[in-house]
Structure 1
């Protein structure tokens, strides 16, 4: 299908790829800074343990809304301007969250942070547009590696800053970094102007049709929704488990744990190359098996022992590797469906993923409060296991 743009896309140079990867990492990190800080933030704002999961869940809900209502604008408006506008609004929301002292205000800003962080999902198809079709998987994988490192490193960075300063400064410093990023992107990003053949209403109205007529999109979205629900459950609940008397880790210890888990982000470039070689079928199943197995690892030894902590680290790396791999394989598959609908397809795909993430984090905290790690990890195992069973119906 012919691309729906007025001019030939700029080439995706190595320098621009690196800049876009860095931008994705810095922006998406705002979704995850709060995960290891649920305890301190809730205590500071007066949230009860039963509602502490809202600190993470509302951010993910905002992200899911933005994926459906904002990301499709990449098929309508000039991409560079759209990226810069969203980045500016996001920086203001993050700064306000850092200055917030009330629970209701902070939770509202958490929703806004999620809404504006969808800028990364405008950047990824923007990068894919500039890459040749034969190397699109590699290009997406390279840019997404920055996004995945942002996800993985956000937790240790926020834990360290909170340990030295306060959780408020995590958001204030992020807002400053985003302001600098905006100045750099304003100078370096090339323009991409889609045709103006659709109104916003028609653009959003086309989303249900795409979801109903694209089986590859539906299947890939379900796989990743299950994996991301397990991922969000793990990274929302494990800080509560590790900081409890069972393990007794400090905020610094939580930072080191999250930093070790970041090794899974190295899967992104590798997954892109696998996709370009046509190995997505096998790669998906490996990722689903690895994700389910990661939760089983945490039960080999009794909780609280040094060996159990080492297995928790191994589980974090394995789970992050699985989620990174399957994400790139899924995006490579949907980007090949239609160039003219690429932003809308990406928005739908990622919306399904983050609805899964929101459900996983909320359900994980709720079950953990009642059944402990056994209950939460059982749900974490069941999610990728169900996706693996469903993958048995997929034809090569």
Structure 2
């Protein structure tokens, strides 16, 4: 398969996943529009990530049962409608509900990742996953810069109108360029969903990678959902545009995904996760120490994204190696658990900010980062390592 197909998947993944993050630099704007508190406005971010986690659970397993290209087209069209509903929100409750629907239907990237892994084969699986993840992670980071800048000049509703149109264009391109996929499951949807429990019960490696990813993404979300509040609290009272521009800083870290993917094909991915987790912890230490100025925040964001993205790609490649006939379901479990962690992290971040401001957010991040490191040093690591070596052999 030509590498251009992987890069097309990467571009599509970035465009779609951005839907889940446009609101993070805009929470203060939501609070002003609907005359509410910052904590209440944070419900939009929590609802989006909660919807995304549920969408992963309900829709992504279908990638093993149906043609992924058809599923992608359907979900993107529905996502376009959900984004338009956000754009016309007359009340905060409407906005929160529409944000939930946006997250629920913006799970296309998690169909694209196992699609790329399947067509690449085991020899180039890490590279293929790394390329798609680079697009996905760049979309996450650049979405904040795009939404912050557009909102600053044309208002936050314009962000969602443009995103709605982007979904329709992406659906058309993917239906024309992607190959059809071959289903690996012939049973009913009910049995398909029941097999998820079997997988999570039997695969210790999947449980470990998912738990590590959930703790790290929770800390990541706690930082990003409160960054706009922290910037507005500074003496310069920075707005949504500056908050969004921090996403461009994080793209430096996203570059780690392609390098990590190639490294994983040659080395033990568990070591990549361990080293990346240590960098992730260092990022929150920097936030706590010098995160009261722009320079300190920039340094921390680079480390935060570098550590998170490297660990995420390594964990995904580890998970995809477990069973080639269940890649979509494995990705469902991994990403559902990860985004459930993200939703919890957003909730903890907003709560910590409302009680202790920036020190509270940093404390939450450090505790969660310590938890991810502890999981890698806890009981069962040796067994997971043996399982992983057997899978690679």
TM-score by length of 1: 0.93
- Indicate conservation of the 8 Å contact 1:46/1:103, yes or no: no
- Indicate conservation of the 8 Å contact 2:27/2:38, yes or no: no
- Indicate conservation of the 8 Å contact 2:273/2:311, yes or no: yes
Residue of structure 2 aligned with 1:250, choices 222, 226, 239? 239
Between the aligned partners of 1:132 and 1:195, the Cα distance in structure 2 is 15
Residue of structure 2 aligned with 1:269, choices 248, 254, 258? 258
Query: Which residue pairs with 1:326 in the alignment?
Result: 311
Between the aligned partners of 1:41 and 1:129, the Cα distance in structure 2 is 41
Between the aligned partners of 1:381 and 1:246, the Cα distance in structure 2 is 26
- Indicate conservation of the 8 Å contact 2:13/2:109, yes or no: yes
Deviations 1:78-106 (A, max 9, x none): 11101111111111111221122221221
1:300 aligns with 2:289: yes
Structure in which a larger fraction of residues adopt helix: 2
Query: Which residue pairs with 1:69 in the alignment?
Result: 58
Between the aligned partners of 1:301 and 1:235, the Cα distance in structure 2 is 17
Query: Which residue pairs with 1:390 in the alignment?
Result: 375
1:185 aligns with 2:171: no
Query: Which residue pairs with 1:20 in the alignment?
Result: 9
The alpha-carbon deviation at position 238 of structure 1 amounts to: 1.4
Residue of structure 2 aligned with 1:215, choices 198, 204, 210? 204
Residue of structure 1 aligned with 2:96, choices 107, 110, 113? 107
Between the aligned partners of 1:46 and 1:300, the Cα distance in structure 2 is 33
Query: Which residue pairs with 2:336 in the alignment?
Result: 351
Residue of structure 2 aligned with 1:57, choices 38, 46, 56? 46
Deviates more, 1:258-267 or 1:77-86: 258-267
Between the aligned partners of 1:281 and 1:182, the Cα distance in structure 2 is 36
- Indicate conservation of the 8 Å contact 1:241/1:247, yes or no: no
The alpha-carbon deviation at position 302 of structure 1 amounts to: 7.5
1:378 aligns with 2:363: yes
Paired residues for 1:113-262 under 5 Å: 113-195=102-184, 197-262=186-251
- Indicate conservation of the 8 Å contact 1:291/1:381, yes or no: no
Any stretches of 5+ residues in structure 1 without a counterpart? 1-10
Deviates more, 1:251-260 or 1:214-223: 251-260
Residue of structure 2 aligned with 1:342, choices 306, 322, 327? 327
Any stretches of 5+ residues in structure 2 without a counterpart? 386-393
The alpha-carbon deviation at position 185 of structure 1 amounts to: 1.1
- Indicate conservation of the 8 Å contact 2:287/2:297, yes or no: yes
The alpha-carbon deviation at position 245 of structure 1 amounts to: 3.6
- Work out the number of aligned pairs and report it: 381
**Measured at CA, do residues 46 and 302 of structure 1 come closer, stay the same or move farther in structure 2, by a change above 3 Å?**
closer
The alpha-carbon deviation at position 253 of structure 1 amounts to: 2.3
- Indicate conservation of the 8 Å contact 1:243/1:254, yes or no: no
Between the aligned partners of 2:109 and 2:310, the Cα distance in structure 1 is 18
Say what the alpha-carbon RMSD is for the aligned residues: 1.3
1:43 aligns with 2:32: yes
**Partner of 1:341: helix, strand, or coil?**
helix
**Partner of 2:66: helix, strand, or coil?**
coil
Between the aligned partners of 2:248 and 2:122, the Cα distance in structure 1 is 34
**Partner of 2:107: helix, strand, or coil?**
helix
Between the aligned partners of 1:94 and 1:301, the Cα distance in structure 2 is 37
Between the aligned partners of 2:198 and 2:190, the Cα distance in structure 1 is 13
